[in-house]
């Protein structure tokens, strides 16, 4: 298995599309496909009942264009949520 991501909600806020999702992994990172042509902002955090020693990191320079997936670095086997904004 690798990092898997699921889009859970899509909405419009002002003139931007906002996409929400979840991820699970058994590795220390991977790519998240947001479905956005341009990603201007991306936020991520781990979820669960235990404290995670390392915060997840977005390994990109924004804006991303052309349906480019967002590369993240995470703690292995720790699920999380994400939010992408763009158009």
Residue 53: give its domain's CATH number. Answer: 2.60.40.3940
* Cα–Cα dist 22/79, whole Å: 7
* Cα–Cα dist 29/51, whole Å: 18
pLDDT at res. 1: 60
Residue from 80, 58, 81, 82 nearest 70 by CA: 58
Least confident range from 38-42, 68-72, 73-77: namely 73-77
What is the number of structural domains in the chain? 1
* Cα–Cα dist 49/17, whole Å: 30
pLDDT at res. 49: 84
* Domain of 52, in residue numbers: 4-86
Express each pLDDT in 20-61 by its tens digit: 999 999 888 899 999 999 999 999 999 988 888 889 999 999
CA distances from 83 to 1, 6, 17, 18 (A): 23, 11, 11, 7
């Amino acid at each position: 298995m690798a990092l898997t991501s699921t889009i859970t909600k899509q909405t419009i806020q002002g003139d931007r599309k906002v996409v929400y999702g979840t991820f699970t992994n058994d590795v220390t990172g991977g790519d998240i496909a947001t479905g956005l042509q341009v990603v201007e902002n991306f936020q991520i955090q781990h979820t669960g009942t235990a404290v995670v020693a390392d915060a997840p990191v977005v390994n990109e320079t924004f804006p991303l264009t052309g349906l480019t997936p967002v590369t993240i670095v995470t703690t292995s086997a720790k699920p999380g949520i994400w939010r992408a904004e763009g158009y």
